[in-house]
């Protein structure tokens, strides 16, 4: 066995290492749950549990060394578990639950980027890479929802023209209508800060879809066509 072949095998990542599809599913569940969940302690405890689970999976597949990944994943799991127990038992308030969930969410795309670059560098654009990029997209929408919730809590006037409630599932629902530029119009920002955030989120969402998602999906489709040519072609 040649030395170059041995080195190549050492550099090759484990096939089951990248689980960005799981991160995407966890964030999608968190998104749906945040919209429909009731205003109870157990419901508030689910948010850090889902965010922590998504981050733990993302950290476990990052570009760090194996032992470092395991320690970081255990640390994230411990923080998420502490948050779940504290909120579920009523020891932590809603504000602390919101803060913990937001910090965990903000760490998800940070952790994903390194692993995604590593995955694409080793194997090119795969389905897991596309799932990871979509997970970052969901993270962006959820983080904007967190900013909207925070701004709505500290502003002197209501954040939305249609309601004084800028908490619960409304900011999440509104955030994704803005991120995707759907714009139903049932909720609109009432203050200049809200208008500025809406423009920033629209630009972020569209630029991300056109550049990152568009390039990845295009490369993935081209790769599949090369590997699986249509029947009847030479």
Burial of 212 (0-12, 13-18, 19+ CB in 10 A): middle
Question: In this structure, how many other beta carbons lie within 10 angstroms of the beta carbon of residue 191?
Answer: 17
Higher pLDDT, 45 or 83: 45
Tell me if 1 is assigned to some domain.
no
Would 3 be classed as within a structural domain?
no
Query: Do residues 114 and 208 lie in contact, with contact meaning Cβ atoms separated by under 8 Å?
Result: no
Q: What average pLDDT does range 2-29 have in this prediction?
A: 66
Is 9 a domain residue?
no
Is residue 11 over pLDDT 70? no
> Residue 149 in contact with residue 166, Cβ under 8 Å?
yes
pLDDT at 15: 42
Looking at residue 102, its pLDDT comes to 93
What lies within 8 Å, CB to CB, of 109 at 6+ separation is 135, 136, 139, 140
Confidence category of residue 65, pLDDT binned at 50, 70, 90? low
* Domain annotation covers residue 12: no
* pLDDT(191) > 80: yes
Contacts of 185 (CB under 8 A, 6+ apart): none
- Given a cut of 90, whether residue 146 has pLDDT beyond it is yes
In a domain, residue 138? The reply is yes
Domain range for residue 188? Answer: 17-222
Is 180 part of any domain? yes
| Residue 147 maps to a domain | yes
CA distance 166 to 188: 11
Q: What percent of the chain has pLDDT over 70?
A: 83
Per the domain annotation, does 4 fall within a domain? no
Give me the number of domains the chain comprises. 1
- What integer is the mean pLDDT of 145-156? 92
- Residue with the bigger pLDDT between 116 and 31: it is 31
Q: For residue 100, how far is the Cα from the chain centroid? A: 15
Could you tell me if 124 and 219 are in contact, meaning their C-beta atoms sit under 8 angstroms apart?
yes
């Amino acid at each position: 066995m040649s030395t170059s072949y041995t080195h190549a095998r050492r550099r090759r990542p484990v096939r089951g290492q990248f689980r960005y599809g799981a991160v995407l599913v966890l964030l999608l569940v968190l998104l749906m749950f945040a919209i429909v969940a009731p205003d109870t302690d157990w419901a508030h405890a689910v948010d850090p549990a889902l965010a922590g689970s998504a981050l733990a999976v993302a950290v476990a597949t990052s570009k760090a060394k194996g032992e470092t990944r395991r320690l970081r994943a255990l640390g994230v799991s411990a923080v998420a578990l502490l948050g779940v127990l504290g909120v579920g038992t009523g020891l932590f308030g809603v504000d602390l639950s919101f803060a913990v969930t937001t910090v965990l969410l903000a760490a998800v795309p940070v952790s994903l980027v390194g692993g995604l670059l590593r995955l694409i560098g080793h194997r090119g654009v795969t389905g897991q890479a596309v799932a990871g990029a979509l997970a970052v997209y969901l993270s962006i929408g959820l983080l904007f929802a967190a900013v909207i919730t925070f701004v709505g809590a500290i502003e002197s006037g209501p954040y939305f023209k249609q309601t004084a409630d800028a908490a619960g599932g409304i900011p999440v629902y509104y955030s994704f209508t803005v991120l995707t530029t759907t714009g139903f119009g049932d909720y609109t920002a009432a203050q200049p800060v809200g208008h500025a955030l809406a423009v920033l989120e629209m630009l972020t969402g569209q630029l991300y879809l056109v550049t990152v998602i568009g390039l990845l999906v295009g490369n993935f489709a081209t790769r599949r066509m090369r590997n699986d040519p249509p029947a009847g072609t030479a």
